[in-house]
Structure formats: C-alpha cells, structure tokens
Structure 1
Amino acid sequence: MTAVADRSLGPELARSLTLGPDTDVLIIGLTSSDTGPAIAPDDLFGDILTADIRAQLLDQLAAVGAKGKAEELTRVPAPTELAGVTSVLAVGLGPAEKVDAEQVRRAAGVATRALTGTELVATTLGGLDLGAAAEGAYLGAYSFSPFRSDRSAPKPDERPVARVEFLIPTPEFGETALTRAQLIAEAVATARDFVNTPPSHLYPAEFADRAQALAEAAGLEVEVLDEKELAAQGYGGVVGVGQGSSRPPRLIRLSYRGGPTKVALVGKGITFDTGGISIKSAQNMDHMTSDMAGAAAVIATVLLVARLGLPITVTATVPMAENMPSATAQRPGDVLTQYGGVTVEVLNTDAEGRLVLADAIVRAGEDDPDYLIDVATLTGAQMVALGTRTPGVMGTDDFRDRVARISREVGENGWPMPLPTELRADLNSKIADLANVTPHRFGGMLAAGLFLREFVPEGVQWAHLDVAGPAYNTGGAFGYIGKGGTGVPVRTLIAVLEDISSEDTATE
C-alpha cells in the first residue's frame, strides 16, 4: 500500500490587511461596460488602491487594450506607489451586473493558473466573494506531477503559485469563509489526484488501500470486502465486472456518524474500462483512467464531511473493479445475480458501471438512508445530450431538482433529466429480470438511470448524477479547471449535504 496523507499540497492561502513588501504580483478584478473597464470592487481597499493608483492602472490597462471581458488577462507594471509589487494582473469579470460567485471563482482560477513560478500573490478578488476567490485560486493553481522524472519535473518558473494572500478590509472579514473554501478545494484536489493517477498505479486493491488510509486518518469507520468476500456475500455485479482482470475487485464502505439523518453516497469505481469483451475502440481509450471519478468524488466528500463536522450521518459505498477482456471475463449473453437477488442479462459488457452500482445501491439501502446519491461516469450518452460540462441529474423528482439547483448554484451546472416510463420496457430481458442495456441508442443516459432506479429502496429520496464528461477535461484549461480530473461533483455533493444539514437544524 502506498502511504497517503490528506490533500493539503496546494498554495498557501491567507488573509492580509496590507500588501507585503515581498508581493510579486497583485491581482485585481476588472469589469466591462460601454464606458470602459472599471476596477472591482470599487468601494474597498482605498488605502491600497487609492484614487490616483486606480487612475494610473486604468490608463495603463486601457493603453494595452484591456476590456474587462470575462477571464481576460492583462498584466502591466505596478505603479511606483505600490511599493514592492512588481506587476499588476487584471483579470476580467465581465459586466458588473453579472458578476456572481462562479465568475469570481473562474477569474481567480484563470489568474493563478497564469502565474506559474510566482512565490507570493496578493489579490483584491476576495472583496467580491472571499470563499469563491479562495476556491478558484486553489483549484486554478492545482498541479499533478508525481510521475514526472527529475528531467521533466517542473522548473521553478513553471511551478504553481506558492502563496496567495487575500486583501481584506477588516481583521475579522471572511475568516470562516476562507477556512471552509480551503477545505472544499482540498477535497476537490483529492478527487482530482485519484482520477489523475494512472491505472498502472491505481487498481482496485490499491484504490481501496488509499481510501482506507485517508478514512482512518479522518476517524471514519471503514469496511473493505475483497474478491472472496464479495463472491461469498453475493455481489454478482462487482464480481462479474471484475472477473476478467488479474487485479481483483473490492468494495469499500466509509462511514461518518454525525447525526440522525442518514445519507448514502455511492460512487462508480472502475479503475480502468476497456469495455471488456464488448471492447471499446482504441481511440481515446486512455481517457478511461477517469472511469472511477464517481468513486473519487464520494470518497473525497465523506472525508470533507468529517473535516467540516456536519451534523448528519454519511456512508459512502464504493465498488471498485477493472473491466478487462480475458478468458475469464463475462460474456455478452451471460446472466449474473446482483446483490439482493435480481438477475441481469449482460447484453453489453461495456455497460458495466450500472452493474457495480446496482450492487452498491442495494447494500447502501440496507442502512435505511433518508437520501441516496449515486455518482458515475456512466454513459457516453450524457455527453451527447448535455455536452462535456453539464452533469445529468436524475432521480425522485423533488430531490433531483434540488440537487440540480444546488449544483448550478456552486458552478457545477447539474441539469435535471427525466426518467421516461416508455423506456423502462426496453430493459426487459427474454431470460432474466432485466437486461443491462436497451436494444437501441435512444435516451441512453435515461435508460441507465431507469436501470439503477430498479435497485433504489422505496421511499428513499434519490439522485443519480451522470458526470461522464464533466469529471474529466480532455480539452484546454478554462477558469479553475485544468486538463484531466476536475473533481466534479464534490462541490455539488458537499453543498447538498450542507443543505440537508441546515434543514435538519432548522427543524430542531
């Protein structure tokens, strides 16, 4: 087992009432308007950005064409009055009337991404929304380089920002917001680290070991089932998917007990997905290193719940398997028995995520949860329907809508999707209780949701998040998102759990 410590390797974040003498770069926000750009916020930090300094900066910025468009970056020499500061980086926020927490988060992220090799950065963006600015700065500065040798390791001028100081107007301003934001950002970074670790180094047993080490350090209860225990206890989905690999499956459960309301989290942990016998095409198969992003998200979330001390009980049930073709792999046409007794005809071995999730959902349901949320990079159909940045959210109507709304509020863009009744009949099997796919490609994301619904206990508020595209960025960096693992939907999950916690507190 590789030794693992909780993720706290990002830039140091701090609040400061003044600009330090060693500040390398000052980041400011710039809004756009018909009359030209303006520095935001305009009503704070007058002792640092005096009227004269603001006028000088606006003249310099206008001279080099700065408009204040969202995420536009413009760097100019610092006025001499800003003693010790080498340069000022203006980051666009867009129109002032449209600036919200997500825009601040993106601006902070794109700015810190641009400042590689900088030791100390100060910023006024925290005056707009300190929590959002801190999240964006930390996540924008995220890097992952444990697999680089000395010859290709980042040079000093290529390393992320080391320290970010948020200028604050009063000593007590935003202390709680900064602490919470850093904890959330570290959890997202933990999920990113898991996703970015290659399958050569993160296979089911290793994944379970790393999760167990983190959980025990956080004081969580831990249960791990190996392949023999999974077979003996009837986890037919996890065993069936994992039987083609020389690296056997696992199922891990992490429990935090903080209050009477119980929330079950389930995350798909396919550490690599070839498609099995129904093998995928070679093009872009390397992206399947991310097929455990749902597992990474729920593990990071329950660790975060413990750090925040939320007054609810949260248990993560995480099936882990590697889907490989071999002489022992399950075949199209095989029938397996899921945990709980439902039989499934496996028509396509590349629809494996729903098989391991079904086992885990039934097991999670045995705890009698009030809420159940499952997260998975489940279907390519999610990207066809919603693109690469919008998770699909399905489930019981009210809770589905609540989760999707909260997801949009935190900037992860979840969108509610239906579970059409007419698609359910297409999951009927000629020989078993269910087939794992429909005989057509229509509504593939929704059909997968309907399959999972068969295993959700009656009366439980349920949400299913399909994050096939949003969990792994294969394109260029944007905002606070780099290439590779994004950490989606950790921020959605923790915001939903905080919302449930606040609801409970309000009724006491």
Structure 2
Amino acid sequence: MTALTLSTAAAAGLKADALVVGVAKGDKGPVVAPGADAVEKAFGGKLATVLETLGASGGEGEVTKLPAPDGVKAPLVLAVGLGAVPEKDESFGTEALRRAAGAAARALSGTKKAAFALPVDSADEVQAIGEGVLLGAYSFDAYKENGNGKAAKAKDAKGPLGDAVILGTKPRDKAAKAAIERATAVAEELNRARDLINTPPNDLNPEAFAAVAQAAAKEHGIKVQVLDEKALTKGGYGGILGVGAGSQSPPRLVKLSYSHAKAKKHLAFVGKGITYDSGGISLKPAGHNETMKCDMSGAAAVFAAVVAAARLGLEVNVTGWLALAENMPSGSATRPGDVLRMYSGKTVEVLNTDAEGRLVLADAIAKASEDKPDAIVDVATLTGAMMVALGSRTFGIMANDDAFRTSLYEIAEASGEPAWPMPLPEHLVKGMDSSTADIANMGERMGGGLVAGLFLREFVGEGITWAHLDIAGPAFNEGAPFGYTPKGGTGTAVRTLVALAERTAAGDLG
C-alpha cells in the first residue's frame, strides 16, 4: 500500500522518482502555486511559460509531465491543476488539494516514490493531500492475471504508487502527524469499502460479506454479532428474510459495536447490503443489471466507517448494522402482492420486489432503535429517482430533524462529498396506503426517492433523531476516473460518517 510521510526538505533537492507541483488557472495563463518556488527557480522562472506552451491552463485535475531541469534531483516533474487562483488572503481549499493529489497519484501509477510540493499551510491541508494521494492511488486488480483472486484486506492492498512524501511540514509537528494518521485510517478503510463494492457477486454473497466483517472486527477490537437465517427467522425479521427468500445464498444481519470508555454519545449507522440486486420477480430490464453488485455500497460504507472510528480511537460509541441479502427471482422468491411482517410488527404489502432495499433497512432500523442511540443514520443505494433529481455525483439527505439534516449536509460538503438536503413531504405518505397491510413498499412515482425516505421513517423508534443518505448516484462511477475517484466503487459516505462520529465525540452532534 502507499505509505505517507512528511518532510521539510526542499522540493528541488529531495531524491524521488517524481516531484508533484501545483499550477493554478490565472487570468493570463497558468500560475505556479506556492510550494514549488525552488522548482520554478530551477526552470529559470519560466515554468508557467513552459506549461502554457505545452497546452496547460491550470484547470482542475489537469496533469502535465515534464523532464526535470538541472537543479532538481527528481527526474520527472508533474504539474497538476488546482483550478482558479484564489482571491487574496484565501487558500485553494482542501477539496481542490485532495482532487489534485488524487489526479497526480493516478498519473504516477507504477512510481516507487513521489514527492508532493503542493500548497500546505495547515494540518487540514496535510490531511486533504494525504487522503487524495491514498484514494487516487487505489486500484482493484484482484481478478486480473497478476491478482490474488480475492478482495484484498485494507492493510494488504497494493496501490500503484509506492511512497508519497508531503513536503512543507515538519515530521514532528503533532497536528500534521495526526492529520497523516487520520488520512491513512480513513482512506485505507474507504479503499476497503471500494474493494467490497468491486468484488463480483459470485464471490461476495451475504455470508462472505459477514465473514469479512468478522475478520476486521477481530483485528480492531470491535464486537460483532451475525444473525444467520435461523436467527433471523426466530427473531421475526420479515423484511430481510422476504428479500433474501429467492436466493440460494441466505441473508445475514451483522451488528458491529465499537465503544469507548469516555464516550458520552452513541451513533447507529445502518447500511443497505444487497450483494446483488436482480429486482427479484419484478426483474430489472436489460442494461440495468450489470452494475448491481454495487447495491451493497451502503453496508460497505457503514462497515468502513465503524472500523475507521475504532482505528482512530474516537470517544463515541458507534454501532454499525449491515443488512445483507441477495435479491433473486426463483420459485421461493417474494411475489408482488405478498405481505411481510416486519421486525417492528408492522405489515408491508410488497407491490414491487425491486423496492427491496427499504425492506431490509426497515428491519435493521427498527432493531437499531432498541438500543436508544442518540442518532441513527442509514446509508443506501436506494432509488433511481434520487439520481434523476441530483445526478451521479451528489447524494440526497433526508431526516426527521431539520437541524440534523443541515448538520449532515455541512459535514458532507466539508468532507468533500457532494450532498443536498431533501424534504419529506407529508402528502406523499398517503400514496403508500394499503388495503391489506399497514403500509405498502411503493407510493407515488413522482418523488420516488422522497417516498422511500418516508417509508423508512415509519420504522424509526419514537424520539430518535434519524437521517437517510440516498447514495444511488455517487456510489458507483461508470465513467472515467476523475480526481481521486476511480472507475467502479467509490466508497462515498464513508468520510461523512467518520466526520459525524468525530464531531459527535467532540460534543457537537448537530
């Protein structure tokens, strides 16, 4: 895996295989960013001119490689775009640095050692660059000819970039050192989530996912409980069992419990873990099945966030619930028109078996409510409607508390995860009326993402603050890589959940 270190060495004098510098987009052409002064001098003060000659503008994510001049020990200089030159007395911002570092790390695939001479004035910027490097260096090659045939553990993951040195900060600076440690823990666990999302469904069924969670829990001192199909039947988890009824791979409900002796608050994270979603009897049309291995991205995010909280030793209790099932059509599958008795005791008429995520989440949310946490946050690739509303890079946030919804939005944006607050209109509830059950799993087509949120709200325990993150859009990138985001599983929502846990540990739940 890529290793992060800090150094105050001069950029031009450090021995490395590549030296990364920043370039911004100015009114009259590219502008060399702070941190690259020595490199600019080695180019005779003409680095910006050379870059412009080569077609560089300093636009965000733009990468230009140059042979290093005399006076620079690294043989290669890589200039990466940071976007527009900031206003006077303002910085480029952590997300611009994170994306630039990620783009550079991807471009340096196969490089043993790279030094990053990007603008650094704070521990937050060190952390952003570190996260960008580790996330941008990610690759999933377990199923390639030279792969190992299975998803790698985070600590064993092989990134295409070797050592990465972040210049401009003293290695003994406590704040900078802590920033590197946080960046490493969060990025490694986020990359573990990406591995799970990218693993083919024939190798990652509910039982296999549960086994991965058990192994990680043992490694990091997290308590784990796995409910198999017998325990789920005995406990009356009709939603999870109903979704998994058509598969030869039975469902699981996994509880991960991280606790801290000084914790004053308790968070519960609930993740949708459909390891493959065919739509069930309401079969998806051709062209909509190929990426459905990603339908467990919510559970992957929850799993990664709990492990990251444990690695960081956060002073907050965090419980993760992974609702795992495979949604398949067969003679034993749940049919449209069937009625399921959920864990909470409510009955649900299933009008569409492809609206299965809300069924497994409902059981897990009801169970999580029994612990009386201070807040519940569920994460799910829940609706195509949310993608229609917000596109492929932004997730929606719904909640039963406006202040909590606003807080989560601010946390997500600060973490570099685009999100948008969404309403829960009361008039849409009536659309889920059923003549045979307490509620139907479908309502009005228009506003379908909001209907799903309203359905989940019905299963939240009384008096408990709750939020729902619909990550259907950004969870899986079908296009080309950008910034620190690879093609395939992205691990979205991990950073938001970890940041929420950190803020809660600091006494600000929102």
Aligning the two structures, in what range does the TM-score lie when normalised by the shorter sequence?
over 0.9
Instruction: Say whether the 8 Å CA contact 1:131–1:178 is kept in structure 2.
Output: yes
Which whole-Å deviations, capped at 9, do the CAs of 1:64-107 have from their partners, x for residues lacking one? Answer: 23221111111111111012x11111111111217211111111
Instruction: Indicate the SS of the match to 1:492.
Output: helix
> How far apart are the structure 1 equivalents of 2:46 and 2:253?
60
The letter of the residue matching 1:230 is L
Q: CA deviation at 1:437?
A: 0.3
Instruction: Say whether the 8 Å CA contact 1:126–1:166 is kept in structure 2.
Output: no
Instruction: Say whether the 8 Å CA contact 1:260–1:312 is kept in structure 2.
Output: yes
Instruction: Say whether the 8 Å CA contact 1:39–1:54 is kept in structure 2.
Output: no
Task: From 399, 405, 422, give the equivalent of 1:400.
Answer: 405
Aligned residue-pair number? 488
Task: From 459, 465, 468, give the equivalent of 1:464.
Answer: 468
The letter of the residue matching 2:5 is A
Q: Measured at CA, do residues 505 and 250 of structure 1 come closer, stay the same or move farther in structure 2, by a change above 3 Å?
A: closer
> Partner of 1:255 in structure 2?
257
> Partner of 1:16 in structure 2?
7
1:34 aligns with 2:27: yes
> Partner of 1:100 in structure 2?
93
Instruction: Indicate the SS of the match to 1:127.
Output: coil
Instruction: Indicate the SS of the match to 1:291.
Output: helix
- After TM superposition, the structure 1 = structure 2 runs for residues 175-214 of structure 1, keeping only pairs within 5 Å, are 175-214=177-216
> Partner of 2:61 in structure 1?
71
Instruction: Indicate the SS of the match to 1:292.
Output: helix
Q: CA deviation at 1:163?
A: 1.5
1:288 aligns with 2:292: yes
TM-score normalized by the length of structure 2:
0.92
- After TM superposition, the structure 1 = structure 2 runs for residues 140-179 of structure 1, keeping only pairs within 5 Å, are 140-150=136-146, 160-173=160-173, 174-179=176-181
Instruction: Say whether the 8 Å CA contact 2:500–2:509 is kept in structure 1.
Output: no
> How far apart are the structure 1 equivalents of 2:442 and 2:507?
38
> How far apart are the structure 2 equivalents of 1:452 and 1:442?
17
Which whole-Å deviations, capped at 9, do the CAs of 1:252-287 have from their partners, x for residues lacking one? Answer: 100011213111110001000000000001213121
Q: CA deviation at 1:56?
A: 3.6
Task: From 428, 431, 434, give the equivalent of 1:429.
Answer: 434
> How far apart are the structure 2 equivalents of 1:122 and 1:57?
18
Q: Measured at CA, do residues 161 and 365 of structure 1 come closer, stay the same or move farther in structure 2, by a change above 3 Å?
A: same
Instruction: Indicate the SS of the match to 1:333.
Output: coil
> How far apart are the structure 2 equivalents of 1:203 and 1:361?
21
Instruction: Indicate the SS of the match to 1:457.
Output: coil
> Partner of 2:317 in structure 1?
313
TM-score normalized by the length of structure 1:
0.93
Which whole-Å deviations, capped at 9, do the CAs of 1:444-468 have from their partners, x for residues lacking one? Answer: 0000000000011122111100001
Task: From 80, 83, 88, give the equivalent of 1:91.
Answer: 80
> Partner of 2:349 in structure 1?
345
Root-mean-square deviation (CA, aligned residues, Å) is 1.9
Of the structure 1 ranges 361-370 and 121-130, higher mean CA displacement relative to structure 2 is found in: 121-130
> How far apart are the structure 2 equivalents of 1:117 and 1:473?
23
The letter of the residue matching 1:316 is G
> Partner of 2:155 in structure 1?
none
> Partner of 1:244 in structure 2?
246
Q: CA deviation at 1:246?
A: 0.6
The letter of the residue matching 2:210 is A
Instruction: Say whether the 8 Å CA contact 2:247–2:326 is kept in structure 1.
Output: yes
Instruction: Say whether the 8 Å CA contact 2:243–2:356 is kept in structure 1.
Output: yes
Instruction: Say whether the 8 Å CA contact 2:20–2:115 is kept in structure 1.
Output: yes
1:410 aligns with 2:415: yes
Instruction: Indicate the SS of the match to 1:491.
Output: helix
> Partner of 2:153 in structure 1?
none
- After TM superposition, the structure 1 = structure 2 runs for residues 306-385 of structure 1, keeping only pairs within 5 Å, are 306-385=310-389
Please, which runs of 5 or more residues in structure 1 have no aligned partner?
1-9
The letter of the residue matching 2:4 is L
Percentage of identical aligned residues? 50
> Partner of 1:137 in structure 2?
133
